[in-house]
Amino acid sequence: MNKEYIKEIFEKNKKIFKNSEIEINSVEDLESQIISYVISNLQYDFNIDIDQDKLFNNDYEIELDDNDLEK
């Protein structure tokens, strides 16, 4: 994720976030909330399990063969 952009979003909307029902008091809180939304929506929409560590870990590599791409 683009941490600089998340920081920019937080700084521009700090008052909105702090006065909302969801406690977002820092850039880290905002990033966690964004991750939570992404994972939750994928799980709900497609009924699949998502591993947060693998999803946002740039070092994680997966090998797909041609059959996987056709599914």
Per-residue pLDDT, 54: 82
Q: Which amino acid is at 57?
A: N
CA separation for the pair 15, 13 (Å, rounded): 6
Higher pLDDT, 32 or 60: 32
Which residues are CB-neighbours of 42 under 8 A, at least 6 positions away?
A: 48, 50
Higher pLDDT, 60 or 2: 2
Tens of pLDDT along 38-56? Answer: 999 999 999 999 888 887 7
Tens of pLDDT along 7-29? Answer: 999 999 999 999 999 989 999 99
Q: Is pLDDT above 60 for 71? A: no
For 50, phi then psi, to 5°, come to -120, 130
Through-space distance between the first and last CA atoms of the chain, rounded to whole angstroms: 27
List the domain boundaries for the chain.
Answer: 3-70
* Separation in Å, CA 48 to CA 30, 45, 71: 24, 8, 15
